[in-house]
Amino acid sequence: MGDNTDEFNYESLETVAEFIRSKIPFSPKLLIICGTGMAGIPEVLDNPIVLNYNEIPTFPLSTVQGHAGKLVFGTLNGVKIVCMKGRFHYFEGYSIKTITKPIRIMKLLGVKAMFATNAAGSLNPKFQVGDIMVLRDHLNMLSFGGENPLRGPNDSRFGERFTPMNKAYDRQLIKIAHEVAKDIGLADNCHEGVFAIVSGPNYESVAEARALSILGADTVGMSTVPEVLVARHCGMAVFAFSFITNRCIVSYEENDEPNHRNILNVADQRSEKVKEFVCKIIEKSQERWL
């Protein structure tokens, strides 16, 4: 038998959802996970209500700079939204189940779709720092090593035992994202591709970056994919994009090094455009979430 500790079972998660319901006067339909440097996204919400992670029983706490640790509830064009201002990463020391625990809580609250964002390094030489890459697919290096949040007993109230991943990223939302990019002048800066997750917290060695590129990855980061697995398992539509904050170093001749401070700065400089991108995609897909 796998591990199905009380903290992760349906009833325990329902208790957490019930606590949140007691604080929030509506049921959110869309979850937005704010990646590193994307903490500004919740500013687009009307009538925001904030719930700190440390007020929510058994909710994990954010430990990474740029991840505040707050749920922000509000509306945009009538769509009821919850933003996670702060996500959990495997490198923080949390288990793979802990980092994805909020997703099932959100499902119990009524969420139908997840928009996940991340800061990522670019492996594709055609992508520039400051560009966006919409995820068409992913390469789950954690799962290759056996770390998967869906491992263990399956509760069919959430979803089926075996979850397909070939259509994980909602194709209608990808199409809308390209239309929006065109509308807001980002056509040349918005790509589509494959995101690879590694555990971190170190950035890639030259050999690792080269290997990921050979395997077919266009961007690499330390998040998102576990959330996607759990969201798809429980039937949510998923849309995700990488904001490219740095180029991965694939040559021993280069002196550059990625660092988190620069990554935050780059994301900060483009935050208004990223907000506009997210808002317009919600606007164009709103009938699905009302």
Ligand X SMILES: O=P(O)(O)O[C@H]1O[C@H](CO)[C@@H](O)[C@H]1O
Binding residues vs ligand GUN (CB under 6 A): 119-121, 198, 200, 203-204, 220-222, 245-246, 248, 258, 263
Interface with ligand X, residue 260, by CB under 6 A: yes
- Choices 47-55, 100-108, 170-178, 217-225; region in contact with ligand X by CB under 6 A: 217-225
- Choices 12-20, 147-155, 158-166, 221-229; region in contact with ligand X by CB under 6 A: 221-229
The partner in contact with residue 246, picked from ligand X, ligand GUN, none with C-beta cut-offs of 5 to 8 angstroms by kind, is: ligand GUN
* Residue 53 and residue 60 in contact, taking contact as beta carbons nearer than 8 Å: yes
In the complex, minimum distance from the CB of residue 196 to ligand GUN, in angstroms, rounded to a whole number: 8
Judged by CB, which is closer to ligand GUN: 28, or 121? 121
Query: Which of 30, 36, 100, 220 is close enough to bind ligand X by CB under 6 A?
Result: 36
Judged by CB, which is closer to ligand X: 77, or 95? 95
Structure tokens at 184: 């807001």
Judged by CB, which is closer to ligand GUN: 54, or 205? 205
Judged by CB, which is closer to ligand GUN: 110, or 200? 200
Q: Where are the beta strands (DSSP E) in 90-183?
A: 113-122, 132-140
Interface with ligand X, residue 87, by CB under 6 A: yes
282: left (phi over 0), alpha (psi -120 to 50) or beta: alpha
Helix (H, G, I), strand (E, B) or coil at 242: strand
Judged by CB, which is closer to ligand X: 277, or 289? 277
In the complex, minimum distance from the CB of residue 35 to ligand GUN, in angstroms, rounded to a whole number: 9
